[in-house]
């Protein structure tokens, strides 16, 4: 199985606003399958299409992440919309596109997610806690926003400095 590469900050493609999906074809089905493989392999509890270089509005999620294939329940969401938001919650977030960094982010505590699955069936879910946080994180990716855009300017600039140093060292 050839795994798609996850784009890493500061790749400019992570800042693009992704396009709505108008028709689900074989290419999109294959992309969703590949993204699920990447999510479990990394491992992660979510992954948005632009993170693998596809600027379209689709993400995959499994917040009950399990090491064992039998316990897995991935969900593919196309053209997600968050329609209701209630309360605030803070969570320590990480991102597969932001290596070696986590930070506390404040988000909506309870949300209503709407979208469709790969067969065009509607998805509607009220999410709370980690699931609500992860959905907002993935929808942010579709809008070109990373969790480091939601932390203080000081924390962000310290991370950017660390990341530039890391990349310079990698390049020798
Ligand atoms: O979108 C991504 O980059 C995936 C990211 C999602 C996320 C994590 C935490 C809070 C909000 C959003 C990750 O999955 S990072 C890895 C991670 O948190 C994790 C991995 C395996 C098991 C449990 C958690
Ligand atoms: Zn992320």
CATH of the domain at 153: 3.90.45.10
Looking at the CA of residue 45, tell me the nearest atom of ligand 1. Answer: 14
Other CB atoms within 10 A of residue 84 CB: 11
In whole angstroms, give the CA distance from residue 114 to residue 83: 7
Ligand 1 atom 7, closest CA: 134
Residue 1 lies in a domain: no
* Contacts for 81 with CB less than 8 Å, ≥ 6 apart: 113, 114, 115
pTM higher than the cut 0.95: yes
pLDDT by residue for the chain (172 residues), tens only, comes to 789 999 999 999 999 999 999 999 999 999 999 999 999 999 999 999 999 999 999 999 999 977 788 889 999 999 999 999 999 999 999 999 999 999 999 999 999 999 999 999 999 999 999 999 999 999 999 999 999 999 999 999 999 999 999 999 999 8
Mutate to test the pocket of ligand 1, among 39, 44, 64 (most ligand atoms within 8 A of CB): 44
Residue 4 lies in a domain: no
Residue 6 lies in a domain: no
* Closest ligand to residue 42's CA: 1
134 CB less than 6 Å from ligand 1? yes
47 CB less than 6 Å from ligand 1? yes
Closest CA to 77 of 92, 63, 93, 91: 63
What's the confidence (pLDDT) of residue 71?
Answer: 80
What's the confidence (pLDDT) of residue 16?
Answer: 98
> What are the distances in angstroms from CA 168 to CA 108, 161, 171?
37, 11, 5
Closest CA to 79 of 109, 38, 37, 121: 121
Residue matched to tokens 């689709």: 58
**Total structural domains within the chain:** 1
Q: What does 124-146 look like in DSSP terms, one character per residue?
A: EEEEEHHHHHHHHHHHHHHTT--
In whole angstroms, give the CA distance from residue 147 to residue 170: 24
User: Cα torsion at 80, 84, 89, 94 (round to 10°)?
Assistant: 10
Residue 5 lies in a domain: no
Residue 150 lies in a domain: yes
96 CB less than 6 Å from ligand 1? yes
**Which residues form the domain of 39?**
12-170
Mutate to test the pocket of ligand 1, among 50, 59, 72, 94 (most ligand atoms within 8 A of CB): 94
* Closest ligand to residue 147's CA: 2
């Amino acid at each position: 199985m050839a795994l798609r590469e996850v784009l890493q900050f500061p790749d400019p493609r992570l800042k693009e606003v992704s396009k709505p999906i108008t028709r689900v074809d074989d290419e999109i089905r294959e992309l969703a399958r590949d993204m699920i493989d990447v999510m479990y392999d990394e491992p992660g509890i979510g992954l948005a299409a632009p993170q693998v270089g596809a600027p379209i509005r689709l993400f995959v999620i499994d917040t009950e992440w399990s090491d064992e294939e039998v316990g897995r329940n991935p969900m593919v969401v196309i053209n997600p919309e968050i329609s209701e938001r209630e309360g605030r919650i803070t969570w320590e977030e990480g991102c597969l596109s932001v290596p070696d960094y986590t930070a506390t982010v404040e988000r909506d505590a309870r949300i209503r997610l709407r979208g469709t699955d790969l067969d065009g069936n509607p998805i509607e879910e009220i999410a709370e806690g980690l699931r609500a946080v992860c959905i907002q994180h993935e929808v942010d990716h579709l809008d070109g926003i990373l969790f480091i855009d939601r932390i203080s300017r000081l924390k962000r600039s310290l991370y950017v400095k660390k990341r530039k140093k890391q990349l310079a060292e990698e390049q020798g």
